Amino acid sequence: MQRVGVFVCWCGSNIAGTVDVEAVSEALKNEPGVVFSTNYQYMCSQAGQDMIKEAVKEHNLTGIVVCSCSPRMHEATFRKTAAAAGLNPYMVEIANIREQCSWVHKDILTGTEKAIILGKAAIAKVNLNAPLTPGESPVTKRALVIGGGIAGIQTALDIADAGFPVDIVEKKPTIGGKMAQLDKTFPTLDCAACILTPKMVDVAQNDKIRIFSYSEVTDVQGFVGNFEVTIKKNARFVKEDICTGCGACVEKCPMKKNPNEFNLGMDNRPAIYIPFAQAVPKVATIDPNACTMLKKGKCGLCSKVCTAGAIDYTQKDEYLQEKYGAIVVATGFNPISMDKFDEFAYSQSKDVITSLEFERLTNAAGPSAGKLIRPSDGKHPHTIVFVQCVGSRCDACAQKGKEYCSKICCMYTAKHAMLTRDKYPDTEVYVFYIDVRTPGKNFDEFYRRAVEEYGVKYIKGMVGKVTPEGDKLKVQASDLIANKQLHIDADLVVLAAAIEPDKSARPLATMLTASMDTNDFFTEAHPKLKPVESPTAGVFLSGACQGPKDIPETVSQAGAAASKVIGLLCKDKLTGNPCVANSNELMCNGCSACANVCPYGAISYEDKEFRMPDRTTKVRRVASVNPAVCQGCGACTVTCPSGAMDLKGFANLQIMAEVDAICK
């Protein structure tokens, strides 16, 4: 029989306001096993904890029940107190009489009654508790960053800076991500390439960082500190270590008419290509869908002009197995497709473009060498209409766009409008907005400058439709302040398309067992206090994969994710959670039901010899749980048909005892 001490907390007036704490500690005194019961204003305070320690000594307690707030809040605190008093920390049970009782009840009588019942349940459980010891697992001191945009780059640099090796896996032929496609960055208008490419070079030159470009993660096994990851290196048909990036092959390739992804299809690239001049790694890649040599076995020009001998038409996809201690997801975003927004005539006119396309049109390295022209006829546009919130802030039942605010559009549209007026003062620039959202340092000032200094015409209202007519775009819109309908003959219409997580994010989340929200953004472990951790231990989040973000925010989050990774990799050993599943081999019939439901792959089977009552031996297949991989979710315990699987610290017997105590 345990010797249980009960400690009821007032939590100031948080609990004591709706629960008669005196009555609770008095009522729990006579429960089986209880030898001591008291109450105190703040159990979690130093004085409260000392009270527990003294009671353990004085009354020889073997179990502790604290009736207080949620175990998420102070379970760790009271376990430490128990350990300091010489008890096993898992001999502590928390009865949550705050969140589940005082905060949800108004009447002191019912509140007190429920608190007593919750206390009784905890006492019934602690009577069946057994000391538990957590296991330890080693930490692989290497990190994996998935995605090589600004988020991934910054995270990798920061981790490498602390001395740990990092691998970046990027599915495109080069790192750089969306930021490499941008022209200028708000609100300071520095050129994106000028601030990004030095970082890309730092990554390339850092001997702690390896880049797997044109590669994907295809499988993730293991657990925090011990991930085993399969990386698929797609065949680029160019030997990466030999190619010097001279570009001779790119010039000579006869298959020149393939849409250039980097310029969003606004110009063409050859079948063998280097995405842009500052690409890292600066290595050519052959597009297998465009190359005649790969499709028909004829041509081979690139191989002839390559003095380094880097072309290899026989290259195959390669699978690498790597071990990591921590994984950072930095898969980023994409603008949504404009297919469902036909009222803006995106598919009908080349002169209706998205903001990212506008970004390429104004970029000196873009398809027009930085000259702002109409994509249809190459003429200078004199009237430009910017439309905000295209696909953002849509109602769920409208099923066209996204429910959330994409956050970055207000600022980049102000930037586009301002830069256009600055470079081409003869251009009329209209911005149709629903709300202008500019929270951020120097953001609102920036937007006001666009209006007051550069004369951008901001109109509160929305564009209803765009009709191409001759070489003009007839824009019909509302001006809500003037209560008028406007008709503007525009030369160029720019749509601020909503952004969405990259399509690779969902399969990746499944591999990582990391959770996502309904929009496929990765969920953080706590929206305020754990913003860069995923709920899955050892998986961290960086950049727009977690939610829409601008560059300053992405970089600070990338640094935060890196610091969490460094904190993890610094440790030599990780202490596990002892509340894991274990199988009673005598009851297990080897049916595999548990292994099928285990989301962590923690259960395997082994053939074991059993001695039978008639002194013969029999070999049977039984389940065995890897305690380092098991997260204690309990899915196997409810699945097991023979009742062999049980969870330490939450055994079926303990749960039933709690239920019995509540129903008594």
What are the residues binding other proteins (CB under 8 A)?
A: 343, 389, 393-395, 397-398, 400-401, 432, 434, 460-465, 476-480, 483, 485
Nearer to other proteins, 312 or 403 (CB): 403
User: How near is the Cβ of 251 to other proteins at its closest, in Å?
Assistant: 47
Q: Are 5 and 29 in contact (CB under 8 A)?
A: no
Nearer to other proteins, 203 or 345 (CB): 345
User: How near is the Cβ of 519 to other proteins at its closest, in Å?
Assistant: 16
Nearer to other proteins, 164 or 341 (CB): 341
Backbone angles phi, psi at 515, to 5 degrees: -90, 155
User: How near is the Cβ of 478 to other proteins at its closest, in Å?
Assistant: 4
Tell me the chain's radius of gyration from C-alpha atoms: 31
Nearest to 419 by CA among 350, 411, 488: 411
Number of helical H runs and strand E runs in the chain: 18, 34
Nearer to other proteins, 487 or 615 (CB): 487
Nearer to other proteins, 478 or 589 (CB): 478
Q: How far, in Å, CA of 431 to CA of 435, rounded?
A: 11
Nearer to other proteins, 321 or 467 (CB): 467
Q: How far, in Å, CA of 52 to CA of 482, rounded?
A: 70
Q: How far, in Å, CA of 465 to CA of 98, rounded?
A: 55
The 3-state DSSP class for residue 52 equals helix
Place of tokens 């071990």: 323
The token duo for 142 is 């290497």
**How many C-alpha atoms does 383 have within 13 Å on its Cβ side?**
10
Q: How far, in Å, CA of 520 to CA of 504, rounded?
A: 10
Nearer to other proteins, 339 or 426 (CB): 339
Q: What is the DSSP string of 63-85?
A: EEEEEES-HHHHHHHHHHHHHHT
Backbone angles phi, psi at 205, to 5 degrees: -90, -10
Nearer to other proteins, 389 or 580 (CB): 389
Helix (H) or strand (E) holding 48: helix 46-59
User: How near is the Cβ of 434 to other proteins at its closest, in Å?
Assistant: 4
Q: How far, in Å, CA of 230 to CA of 227, rounded?
A: 10
The token duo for 207 is 């001997």
User: How near is the Cβ of 335 to other proteins at its closest, in Å?
Assistant: 16
Nearer to other proteins, 120 or 402 (CB): 402
Nearer to other proteins, 256 or 465 (CB): 465
Nearer to other proteins, 477 or 645 (CB): 477
User: How near is the Cβ of 480 to other proteins at its closest, in Å?
Assistant: 4
Q: Are 386 and 416 in contact (CB under 8 A)?
A: yes
User: How near is the Cβ of 487 to other proteins at its closest, in Å?
Assistant: 10
User: How near is the Cβ of 558 to other proteins at its closest, in Å?
Assistant: 32
User: How near is the Cβ of 544 to other proteins at its closest, in Å?
Assistant: 22
Nearer to other proteins, 270 or 335 (CB): 335
User: How near is the Cβ of 396 to other proteins at its closest, in Å?
Assistant: 8
The answer for 513, left when phi > 0, alpha when psi is -120 to 50, beta otherwise, is left
Q: How far, in Å, CA of 124 to CA of 126, rounded?
A: 6
Nearer to other proteins, 397 or 529 (CB): 397
SS3 content of the chain, % helix, strand, coil (to 5): 30, 25, 45
The neighbour count for residue 345, using CB atoms within 10 Å, is 19
Report angle CA 207, 211, 213 to the nearest 5 degrees.
160
User: How near is the Cβ of 464 to other proteins at its closest, in Å?
Assistant: 3
User: How near is the Cβ of 386 to other proteins at its closest, in Å?
Assistant: 14
Q: How far, in Å, CA of 643 to CA of 587, rounded?
A: 7
User: How near is the Cβ of 488 to other proteins at its closest, in Å?
Assistant: 11
Helices 108-126, 652-663: crossing angle, 10 deg rounding:
150
User: How near is the Cβ of 400 to other proteins at its closest, in Å?
Assistant: 7
Nearer to other proteins, 321 or 348 (CB): 348
Nearer to other proteins, 400 or 620 (CB): 400
3-state secondary structure 373-440: CCCCCCCCCCEEEEEEEECCCCCHHHCCCCCCCCCCHHHHHHHHHHHHHHHCCCCEEEEEECCCCCCC
Place of tokens 């295209």: 390
Q: Are 473 and 493 in contact (CB under 8 A)?
A: yes
User: How near is the Cβ of 397 to other proteins at its closest, in Å?
Assistant: 5
Omega of the bond leading into 187 within 30 degrees of 0 (cis) = yes
